[in-house]
């Protein structure tokens, strides 16, 4: 009478888990005992669109900033110190004047800032680090140093021209509405805030360009600080306009809001499209 093989234990089908199956069958002692070795590890999703395909990890490479970036940052810091020293200003006075009307009138009168030309020097100082940060994301992959410098200078000069053109339009609007005094105070307040922009952006430019893996974090911090200063500047400027303008306050408020908000929207759209 032939012997019937004794069924072995239930073995579940192989899946993605590393499973090794050993099946042992009982036969007559006259015959050798066959064994089934390790079953091949094959996923049930093999060949299916849900199959996970592991690719080799590629390290994220971050292009280091060129060496001349550090020179621009140092130049920006030097210009800030020279300007504050020449006008005998300190940051406490600037911050106080940015939020207080009497302090601003006093700082314009006592620190030799009554003339517009004394304040217009703040614009190129402010744009040095800000345009450098924008240029960093454009030329970081370019190995041609002279081309990168030329591109930065082009962006910098264009930003300066746009800035002064915008201020010229604001002055024309002030002349049209016979509000020269209020527009002068408005522009003076803007210049003081732009000096604060430069003070904040200069060290942040160094951290964004020369810190590994922390550049995006510092960029977000800088965006938050600049955004906060921008909101404070717009509110402060609108307060000066509505307080000191002699006539057509609402129309003047409307035009100045347009000049403040439209450039920001254009810059934000350009930044998103990059």
> Which of 222-234 are b and which e, b meaning 16 or more Cβ less than 10 Å from the residue's Cβ?
beeebeebeeebb
Range among 8-17, 83-92, 247-256 with highest mean pLDDT value: 83-92
pLDDT at 205 over 50: yes
DSSP 59: P
pLDDT at 163 over 80: yes
Portion of the chain with pLDDT greater than 90, in percent: 16
Query: Does 95 or 245 have the greater pLDDT score?
Result: 95
> Domain segments of the chain: what residues?
67-273
Cβ atoms of 205 and 129 within 8 Å: the answer is yes
The pLDDT score that the predictor gives to residue 209 is: 86
The pLDDT score that the predictor gives to residue 211 is: 83
pTM metric for this prediction: 0.69
pLDDT in tens, 18-69: 455 555 555 455 555 555 555 556 656 566 555 655 544 444 444 567 788 8
């Amino acid at each position: 009478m032939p012997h019937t093989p004794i069924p072995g234990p239930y073995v579940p089908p192989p899946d993605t888990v590393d499973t090794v199956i050993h099946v042992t069958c009982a036969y007559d002692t006259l015959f050798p005992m066959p064994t089934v070795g390790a079953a091949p590890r094959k996923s049930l999703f093999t060949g299916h669109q849900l199959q996970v395909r592991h690719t080799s990890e590629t390290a994220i490479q971050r292009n280091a900033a060129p060496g001349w970036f550090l020179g621009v940052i140092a130049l920006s810091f030097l210009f800030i110190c020279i300007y504050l020293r020449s006008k005998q200003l300190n940051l406490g006075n600037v911050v106080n004047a940015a939020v207080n009307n009497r302090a601003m009138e006093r700082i314009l009168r006592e620190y030799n800032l009554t003339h517009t030309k004394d304040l217009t020097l703040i614009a190129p100082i402010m744009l040095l680090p800000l345009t450098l940060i924008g240029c960093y994301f454009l030329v970081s992959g370019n190995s041609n140093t002279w081309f990168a410098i030329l591109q930065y200078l082009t962006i910098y000069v264009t930003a300066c021209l746009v800035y002064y053109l915008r201020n010229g339009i604001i002055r024309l609007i002030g002349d049209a509405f016979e509000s020269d005094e209020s527009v002068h105070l408005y522009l003076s307040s803007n210049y003081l805030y732009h000096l604060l922009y430069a003070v904040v952006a200069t060290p942040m430019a160094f951290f964004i360009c020369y810190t590994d893996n922390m550049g995006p974090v510092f960029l977000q911090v800088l965006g938050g600080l600049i955004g906060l200063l921008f909101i404070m500047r717009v509110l402060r400027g609108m307060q000066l306009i509505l307080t000191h303008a002699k006539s057509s306050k609402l129309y003047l408020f409307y035009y100045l809001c347009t000049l403040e908000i439209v450039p920001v929207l254009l810059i934000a759209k350009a930044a998103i499209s990059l």
